Amino acid sequence: MDIEKIHLADIRTEYKKGTLDENDVDKNPFVQFDEWFKEAVTSKIPEVNAMTIATANKSGRPSARTVLLKQFDEKGFVFFTNYESSKAKDIAENPQAALLFFWEPLERQIRIVGRVEKVTAAESFEYFRSRPIDSQLGAWASQQSSVISARSLLEKAFGEMLEKFKNGEIPLPPFWGGLRIIPDEFEFWQGRTNRLHDRISYKNIKGVWSINRLSP
């Protein structure tokens, strides 16, 4: 494909679906997130809980991928993964992460930054047992991020787990569980005309959320 023929410089969208004012947002960024999330759900946005998580290892090499938000409250934002995965290893070395939600139909983004910690085993088990059986088996079968020579090996491992646990409850894998991002910074972005987007920043300063408008 000849990338020059696509004329990337000519691809643009004029944003005009909403506004965002620092005098109208909630003083609590978790409440503001909840309001926007509910609007996104109501708008029937596909994979509304999909979020990009960016991590970096101890040498500072960054990495990003999309995961699914499974829980959020004022304690933080939780997703679940194999603790031997690349992202979990990054977090073990450097327990800081950034999240990004992009809801194109609403012309909105939310960026969240903070430290990361594991959830309790009880929290992980409660979510694990709520998953479909095949997803529970998949967690046991996959050595996430490891190199495999063929998909057939993964399917074989899944079959072995199906046989192993066919007569009882599937236990929580010791290498699988939740990670919670505990925010100290939020940014709410609303697309506007002429690229003069609205950006409202929250920063936690000694337990108090400071709210500021940022230049686009």
Catalytic residue chosen out of the listed positions 61, 65, 129, 195: 195
What are 92-111's pLDDT values in tens digits? 999 999 999 999 999 999 99
Cα(30)–Cα(48) distance, integer angstroms: 17
Are residues 185 and 201 in contact, defined by beta-carbon separation less than 8 angstroms?
Answer: yes
Average model confidence (pLDDT) for the chain? 94
Between 1 and 122, where is the model more confident?
A: 122
Q: What is the residue extent of each domain of the chain?
A: 9-129+173-214, 132-171
Q: Model pTM?
A: 0.90
Residue 213 a catalytic site member? no
3 pLDDT higher than 60 = no
Q: Is the pLDDT of residue 6 over 80?
A: no
Topology (CATH) of 9-129+173-214: Pnp Oxidase; Chain A (2.30.110)
Q: DSSP letters along 27-41, please?
A: SSHHHHHHHHHHHHH
Average pLDDT rounded to a whole number, residues 19-25: 94
